[in-house]
Amino acid sequence: MPIYEYRCESCGFQKEHLQKMSDPVLDTCPSCGKTSYVKQLSAAGFQLKGNGWYATDFKGGGKTTSAAATGTNASSDAGSAPACGGSCACHPS
């Protein structure tokens, strides 16, 4: 189920609500009771849990040296950071 973020235009109250996609849009503010509660446009967030493919596959197996496989620019120095900054799933911390 998606999490939607709502904000009241009258009092500024803001809260996330877990709703089905088929649920009606909320319009009444739970704080002040006015019908100025609107859904906000926000980035979708998710968290990977458990020990799925992202944690186990391709980890230390078949090393390749191509720039595309390592995530680095072919013209960059050997000691420079990858193009993604190292904060993606392919570069565990």
Give 1-53 pLDDT, tens digit per residue. 788 899 999 999 999 999 888 999 999 999 999 999 999 987 766 666 666 66
Q: Where are the domains of the chain?
A: 3-39
Cβ atoms 47, 89 nearer than 8 A = no
pTM above 0.85, yes or no: no
Cβ atoms 75, 67 nearer than 8 A = no
